[in-house]
């Protein structure tokens, strides 16, 4: 994790994303991508939570607020990538996922919304850790090298976000 001279964090790994492509038409893979965009542990949840965090932290913690805003944009890019993959595999990329055979639409109620700084940062770290576990498991189970490469690249961003949030947490203790 690097901070530049203006005390701004680099919020995305310094590597290009693989091409957003798959030749797969595997519905299980497509439903995994839907889960990544619209389940409780999803990019939409991260985008909405980090938008919230950036709002409630400003102006008291303006540097943290700006960082959460920038990370939300990275998460929005991940959201777009997973939606494009689901679309390529033939599914409608609405903000939904398949839960026990039923479609379940994403809800802002999936998020926890702590307002105190320490719990807010700890909650953000837990969300990133959960995403990494999920994407790592998917990369092991999915037998499509294009999707695996995309998942592994996104994991690098999520690991960086944990480092940033941990650094923030350490700076307040």
- The tens digit of pLDDT for each residue in 117-131 reads 999 999 999 999 999
- The tens digit of pLDDT for each residue in 96-107 reads 998 888 999 999
Q: In the predicted model, is pLDDT for residue 5 greater than 90?
A: no
Domains and CATH numbers, the chain: 27-103+112-171 (1.20.1260.10)
Long-range contacts of 45-49 (CB under 8 A, 24+ apart): 45/106, 45/110, 45/111, 45/127, 46/72, 46/75, 46/78, 46/127, 46/128, 46/131, 47/72, 47/75, 47/76, 47/79, 48/108, 48/111, 49/111, 49/113, 49/123, 49/124, 49/127
- The tens digit of pLDDT for each residue in 44-57 reads 999 999 999 999 99
Q: In the predicted model, is pLDDT for residue 4 greater than 90?
A: no
* pLDDT at residue 31, as a whole number: 97
Supply the pTM of this predicted model. 0.95
């Amino acid at each position: 994790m690097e901070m530049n001279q203006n005390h701004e964090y680099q919020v995305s790994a310094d590597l290009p994303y693989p091409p957003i492509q798959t030749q797969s038409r595997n519905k299980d893979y497509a439903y995994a991508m839907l889960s990544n965009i619209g389940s409780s542990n999803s990019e939409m949840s991260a985008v909405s939570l980090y938008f919230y965090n950036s709002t409630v932290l400003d102006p008291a913690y303006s540097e943290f607020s700006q960082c959460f805003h920038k990370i939300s944009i990275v998460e929005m890019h991940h959201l777009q990538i997973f939606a494009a993959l689901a679309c390529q595999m033939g599914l409608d990329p609405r903000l939904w996922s398949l839960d026990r055979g039923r479609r379940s639409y994403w809800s802002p109620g999936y998020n926890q919304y702590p307002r105190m700084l320490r719990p807010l940062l700890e909650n953000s770290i837990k969300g990133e850790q959960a995403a990494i576990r999920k994407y790592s498991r998917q990369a092991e189970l999915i037998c499509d090298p294009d999707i695996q490469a995309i998942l592994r690249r996104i994991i690098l961003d999520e690991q960086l976000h944990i480092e940033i949030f941990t650094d923030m947490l350490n700076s307040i203790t």
